[in-house]
Amino acid sequence: MSIWLYGSLADFHGPPQFNYMFSSLKTTRDILKFRLRMWRALREPAPALAASPQELDRLVSLQTAYWQAHPPLLGLAAQEFLHDLNRHSISTYVLSVRGREVRLWDKGDVSYAGVDEVTRRHEQRSFLKRAQMYRAFVQTVLARGSLNESFDLALNVTDIPDDATELPIFGFQKLRGGHHLLLPDVDFFHSKWYRDERDAVSYEEKSISACFVGSSTGGLLTEDGIRNGETPRLRAAAYYHGHPQILFRIANAVHCVSDEARALLESQPYFGGQMGWQDQLGHRFLMSMDGNGAACSRLVKGLLSNSVVVKFDSPYDLYYFPALRLGGDMLLATSEADVERFVEAELECPGTFKDVAESGQRFVQKYLTIHSVMDYTERLLESYASLVRC
């Protein structure tokens, strides 16, 4: 008994029932800490620049436009659809909202072909923890707002959930043109609402250079795929290797299909050591390139900094993307050569993009503080409730 009372939960390896108990205890502790972080963040006053109701309603209307034109299932048909999702999708949970109370439907084990038992249980615990965090988040949203409705909603907590046209499914990112209703991404939760982000390096003090250091996400990597640069990050890393003003480094080999592929990736000239975020802030341009989905935290942290965010175009959407002004709040790169042109323009005339960096900071203060994020979420839930009201 003393082993698990005083030892590290992460270090304990015992019988499956004990491991499950430790995982549950850790999750409960993490959810309590998450609730405390929300409470602390909400105690801070909303910024004067906070998004207006009309601006948030515009974001909501873009999420619900498809469903306004294509009414979803209602009544018994909707309940059957939700029960089917809850039974057969490992990453989809149903939240039952009754006034200010929110509960998760009971969910049994979900089996699917081609995945071993250990992996399946690990994924289930990971997905359940995300679902419980969203439950706590939605409950807090309802507690501070005026919405008082009863409805059930499906929430898929995987990175890119499958699409559906029968009933809106909530998620936190989607492929452009998808029908999901987007909640704030999970990195808001894990990054403590970005309240502790600071950039002590002024725009003028930063090197006129661009930087990206990250993992090899973006697809499964075979040896041929690595040699041919089959993913955007590998192509960019090879393209910029040796560039005097642009650092694009792969620092973590993931999604390699074999040990040989991993060794090959780690032998590439663009592969190197990690670089802390504070060191990356020494660059005037911070590149953001999506991997398996949208690069959530890197984008927000970049916008908060005194640097300019250069986002590579991708098919992934987060809920606030329509409000970002390309060329105003950040720069958009549709090719590797675009970044070279941005850096060259800044070298020729230092300060060219300073207003973009400052506008990015204002964007975060307007749309991405906990107050605006929760206001948006309440309005989205209100719109959903009107869609599914019988």
User: pLDDT tier at 4 (50, 70, 90 boundaries)?
Assistant: very low
Average pLDDT over residues 350-359: 98
The torsion angles phi and psi of 70, rounded to 5 degrees, stand at -130, 85
Checking if the pLDDT of 337 tops 50, the result is yes
Average pLDDT over residues 155-163: 91
Q: What is the pLDDT of residue 1?
A: 29
**Both structure tokens of 13:** 């390896």
| Distance from C-alpha of 199 to C-alpha of 203, rounded to nearest angstrom | 10
Q: Are 384 and 167 in contact (CB under 8 A)?
A: no
| Distance from C-alpha of 6 to C-alpha of 104, rounded to nearest angstrom | 31
C-alpha distances in angstroms, 213 versus 16, 67, 310, 315, 379? 37, 39, 14, 21, 36
The residue that leads in pLDDT, 38 or 160, is 38
pLDDT tens digits along 125-138: 899 999 999 999 99
| Distance from C-alpha of 390 to C-alpha of 384, rounded to nearest angstrom | 12
The torsion angles phi and psi of 174, rounded to 5 degrees, stand at -155, 165
pLDDT tens digits along 62-82: 999 999 999 999 999 999 999
pLDDT tens digits along 164-221: 999 999 999 999 999 999 999 999 999 999 999 999 999 999 999 999 999 999 999 9
Q: What's the N-to-C CA distance of the chain in angstroms?
A: 53
Taking alpha carbons only, the member of 292, 289, 239 closest to residue 269 is 239
pLDDT tens digits along 268-319: 999 999 999 999 999 999 999 999 899 999 999 999 999 999 999 999 999 9
| Distance from C-alpha of 121 to C-alpha of 155, rounded to nearest angstrom | 19
Q: State the DSSP string of 190-221.
A: HTGGGTT----S-TTTSEEEEEEEEE--SS-B
Q: What is the pLDDT of residue 26?
A: 82
Q: What is the pLDDT of residue 330?
A: 98
Q: Are 330 and 309 in contact (CB under 8 A)?
A: yes
Of all residues in the chain, what percent carry a pLDDT higher than 70?
93
| pTM (predicted TM-score) | 0.91
Which runs of consecutive H residues, i.e. helices, occur in the chain? 2-6, 16-43, 53-69, 75-88, 117-144, 187-190, 223-228, 232-240, 259-266, 277-280, 296-304, 336-348, 354-367, 370-388
Provide the sign of the torsion angle of the four alpha carbons 149, 152, 158, 160, taken in this order: negative
Checking if the pLDDT of 226 tops 60, the result is yes
Q: Are 360 and 325 in contact (CB under 8 A)?
A: no
Of all residues in the chain, what percent carry a pLDDT higher than 90?
86
Q: What is the pLDDT of residue 306?
A: 98
User: pLDDT tier at 5 (50, 70, 90 boundaries)?
Assistant: very low
Checking if the pLDDT of 380 tops 80, the result is yes
User: pLDDT tier at 122 (50, 70, 90 boundaries)?
Assistant: confident
Cβ contacts of 244 within 8 Å, gap of 6 or more: none
Average pLDDT value over all residues in the chain:
92
Break the chain into its structural domains and give their ranges.
2-193+371-388, 194-367
Angle formed by the axes of helices 370-388 and 117-144, nearest 10° = 100
Checking if the pLDDT of 260 tops 90, the result is yes
Checking if the pLDDT of 113 tops 70, the result is no
Cβ contacts of 367 within 8 Å, gap of 6 or more: 51, 55, 320, 323, 373, 376
Q: What is the pLDDT of residue 109?
A: 73
User: pLDDT tier at 114 (50, 70, 90 boundaries)?
Assistant: low
**Which CATH number is 194-367 given?**
3.40.50.2000
What one-letter code names the amino acid at 108?
G
| Distance from C-alpha of 166 to C-alpha of 387, rounded to nearest angstrom | 12
Average pLDDT over residues 305-334: 97
